[in-house]
Amino acid sequence: MSGINNIMDIARKGLFASQAAIEVTGQNISNVNTVGYSRRYVRLEESLQLDYRPGQIGMGVEAAEVLRHFDRFIETNYLDKSTMQQRYDTLFGSLKSVDSLLYESDKVGGISSSLTQFFSDWQKLTTETDNYAVRETLLADTDNLLSVIHQADAQMTRMQQQANEFIQQDVNDINLILDKIAGINGQLKQVEIPGQNNANALRDDRDRLVRELAGKLDINVITRGNEQDFTITTKAGHTLLQNDQTFSLKFEGPRVTSSLVAGSTFGADGKLYFDGMDDFEYTIDFVSAGTAGSEYSGDPATAAMFRVSLDGGKTWLKDENGVELQFPAGDEAHLVEVRGVKIWFGQQGSSLTPPSNGPEVGDDFIVAPKSGVYWYQDTSTSENITPQIYANGEDNNRRITGGSLAGFFNFRDNYIGQYRDKLDALAKELIWSVNSIHSEGAGLKKLSEATGTYQVFDSTVPLVNDTSGLFFRDKLQSGNLQFYVYDGTGAMVGTQSLDFSAYGITPGNPNFDPENHSLEDVRDAFNDAFNGMFPPPPPAVPVQASIVNGSLRIASGNGHTFGFGQDSTGLLAGLGINTYFSGTDATSIEINSAVASNTSLINAGHYNGAGEINKGDNLIALDIAALKDTKLDIHTDFGGTSHQTLSEFYNALVSSVGADTSGAQFNFSYQNSLAQDLDAQQQSLSGVNLDEEMSNLIKFQHSYTAAAKLISTADQMLQTLLGLKP
């Protein structure tokens, strides 16, 4: 009802509205320095209208609700940039430590200078072949070289372990943040009344947590225009949170997942088993099925064959000549080793029993021989969302691609993984190139015992077969090797080549053929040759070859000695007999223990055609010293085969670390600038501006004063009316 009372009521509402506005302004002013606080305002609404004369008269103002200034669109863009900024920040910070590690290793006493010193020592040995001091120096400097290689490898391994700890921490944080957001969503549901009561502080808290979450992994925030319907997914679409329900992430150990083609019977009881660790995930794809009943024989002619990809099936592993590698599927007795991971097929309940059915063409398995992040849809269904980078540098968009998680995983798997791969390739090439020369040489004394440093899994299969397990099997070639036997007085009993004509599937051919001959054939060929040197009755055990723990051992008796000459097969280096180094990679490379304990076994010279070691012969030392400037074919699974000297290869590795670090730094700066730009825009909207708040304060103060004045005016009007006399 219109009247003086209505004026009073209008003034009262004005007072309350101004008071509310001043309170909100005060709240803004006090929170000027609060991180994540969004500026608030009161939405004023005109009260109801009364139909009256001379027309509608309003009933004042209502302070309808308190709202916050916040732009979801800018925030979404900010989260995208911020997540990439965090990824590169993490990557840059981690790569800096590798850069400084290899930079240090490049200085005096580092890998590069130690490698130079190693070849320089061999050069010195060429002039003083029988000088024990020179030989001792060579051993000491080799020790130093191996020590810096081991240190670099061990440091990188430690960095990977450290990354694992950070990842575990991040995963815990993510689950915690998701729980907190779910809790806030639950509270919002209870507290909020749309259009009337907004829990702005809770919304600010939630957005602050969402920013924190985006720092850990790439996310999508879906509100469908309604802030109460709040869903967070990864960019790839895995739901992390839906209102007050959360889905958890777990950082878990190695595992296999299989994807079989329709109609494949392998899954009835078959299972892929593996043993070993690697930095990359293996996608195993069957390209041919095996012959019924012989799928797991380990024989490439009849076994089911598979190929392996390290980047989710985009590219497939190739050998040094660029030919795609294919491996036979074997049971536990015919397992194959791929990049140090042993793979075989067994029954689900028993890894030792071959499965009933073989895999079909197109059957795929993903072997993750490393720990990774898994998204749990429910307690039993999980999905691997570990970040993965393809060979062309692109991210696998079905996985995590942002935040510190992606940074740590990229660092642990792709960057360090590839650096370690290159360091392993360097060590492998150093071992092979030195050993293949050294094994054909002669030291200062003849051998009475030689045990191979490399083992086979199966001594009955041809050595080149993947199931033989011999590390350097790809290096073996057809040909023959020469050896010499001496009696107790040092006089030569005889010189002979091995005769393989009685073995394998090519009878009549005396040469060794890696495609046909097994380690047992090699042992037998040695024994036949030794026995042939001693007419019956031969002395007891003059020289005998045997297989001990998968390695070939040649031992003499009765004071006999022996030595090796030219070897066109690579057998001696491949089996680790009469070699300088043992081991296969940066972690395992060592000086052959026989050489390390006896400097006279360092081969500087060779046996001449008459089986003699000439004093001053330096042929082998010269050849090894010449390796310093020899361009070698060095193969890595990611970089292919490069034709470089060992030093050039190592320097290229150091340069690539520098380039990666600088690339990560630029990417960080780039994403950081974009994120800051968006944050500044969000801040210009939701940040508190004291000047603006001051002017608002004055404005609302005046409104309040005017409303108060309205009360006194109404009061005076009432007094006037009451003062009227009849």
Partner 1 sequence: MKRRILDSLNRQKNALSLLASLLGEEFSYLRQGNPQAVSGIELSVQDLLRQITSERVEMKSMIQAVAPGAARLTAFIQTLPEAERPEVAALLEELDRREQNCATLAAKNFELALALHDQSRKLLTFLHGKINPEQKETYTARGKFPKTKRGAAILQGRL
Cβ proximity to partner 1: between 73 and 321 the closer is: 73
User: 126: which 2 tokens?
Assistant: 């060429």
Interacting residue ranges for partner 1, rule: CB under 8 A: 73-74, 77, 666, 669-670, 672-674, 676-678, 680-681
CB of 75 to partner 1, least distance (A): 12
Q: Which residue has the tokens 């009469």?
A: 578
CB of 688 to partner 1, least distance (A): 20
Q: How far apart are CA 586 and CA 579, in angstroms?
A: 17
Distances (CA, A) of 725 to 716, 720, 721: 16, 10, 9
Q: How far apart are CA 285 and CA 343, in angstroms?
A: 13
Cβ proximity to partner 1: between 72 and 631 the closer is: 72
Cβ proximity to partner 1: between 201 and 685 the closer is: 685
Which of helix, strand or coil describes residue 482?
strand
Cβ proximity to partner 1: between 84 and 210 the closer is: 84
List of residues 6+ apart from 239 with CB closer than 8 A: 231, 232, 233, 247
One-letter identity of residue 266: F
Nearest CA to 389 out of 669, 159, 95, 638 is that of 638
CB of 117 to partner 1, least distance (A): 28
**R_g of the chain, CA atoms, integer Å:** 39
CB of 681 to partner 1, least distance (A): 7
Answer whether 481's CB lies under 8 Å from 498's CB. yes
Cβ proximity to partner 1: between 352 and 659 the closer is: 659
CB of 494 to partner 1, least distance (A): 59
User: 607: which 2 tokens?
Assistant: 């046996």
Cβ proximity to partner 1: between 646 and 675 the closer is: 675
CB of 32 to partner 1, least distance (A): 22
Cβ proximity to partner 1: between 638 and 670 the closer is: 670
Cβ proximity to partner 1: between 288 and 665 the closer is: 665
Cβ proximity to partner 1: between 677 and 692 the closer is: 677
CB of 380 to partner 1, least distance (A): 42
Distances (CA, A) of 240 to 208, 247, 396, 615: 17, 5, 19, 76
Cβ proximity to partner 1: between 401 and 518 the closer is: 401
Cβ proximity to partner 1: between 388 and 686 the closer is: 686
With vertex at residue 306, the alpha carbon angle to CA 305 and CA 311, rounded to the nearest 5 degrees, is 170
User: 107: which 2 tokens?
Assistant: 């200085």
Answer whether 146's CB lies under 8 Å from 591's CB. yes
CB of 77 to partner 1, least distance (A): 7
Nearest CA to 138 out of 107, 117, 168 is that of 117
Phi-psi region of 90 (alpha: psi -120 to 50; beta: other; left: phi over 0): alpha
Answer whether 635's CB lies under 8 Å from 650's CB. no
CB of 689 to partner 1, least distance (A): 18
CB of 419 to partner 1, least distance (A): 23
Answer whether 710's CB lies under 8 Å from 12's CB. no
Cβ proximity to partner 1: between 13 and 81 the closer is: 81
Largest CA distance in the chain: 160
CB of 86 to partner 1, least distance (A): 17
Which H or E run includes 636?
A: strand 632-636
Cβ proximity to partner 1: between 76 and 587 the closer is: 76
Nearest CA to 575 out of 510, 447, 481, 508 is that of 481
Cβ proximity to partner 1: between 315 and 665 the closer is: 665
- Is 507 exposed, middle or buried (CB count within 10 Å of its CB: 0-12, 13-18, 19+)? exposed
Cβ proximity to partner 1: between 302 and 665 the closer is: 665
Which H or E run includes 180?
A: helix 132-191
Number of C-beta neighbours around residue 247 at 10 A? 18
Answer whether 337's CB lies under 8 Å from 329's CB. no
Cβ proximity to partner 1: between 267 and 663 the closer is: 663
CB of 680 to partner 1, least distance (A): 6
Cβ proximity to partner 1: between 77 and 162 the closer is: 77
Distances (CA, A) of 84 to 76, 670, 682: 13, 10, 18
CB of 223 to partner 1, least distance (A): 16
Cβ proximity to partner 1: between 162 and 681 the closer is: 681
One-letter identity of residue 544: Q
Packing angle between helix 4-30 and helix 690-722, nearest 10 degrees? Answer: 160
Q: How far apart are CA 128 and CA 108, in angstroms?
A: 26
- Is 249 exposed, middle or buried (CB count within 10 Å of its CB: 0-12, 13-18, 19+)? buried
CB of 80 to partner 1, least distance (A): 10
CB of 215 to partner 1, least distance (A): 19
Q: How far apart are CA 520 and CA 571, in angstroms?
A: 13
Answer whether 612's CB lies under 8 Å from 491's CB. no
CB of 48 to partner 1, least distance (A): 26
Q: How far apart are CA 47 and CA 314, in angstroms?
A: 66
Q: How far apart are CA 650 and CA 110, in angstroms?
A: 11
| 8-state DSSP, 410 | I
Q: How many Cα atoms within 13 Å fall on the side-chain side of residue 647?
A: 15
Q: How far apart are CA 290 and CA 704, in angstroms?
A: 90
List of residues 6+ apart from 76 with CB closer than 8 A: 221
| 8-state DSSP, 415 | I
CB of 87 to partner 1, least distance (A): 16
CB of 459 to partner 1, least distance (A): 56
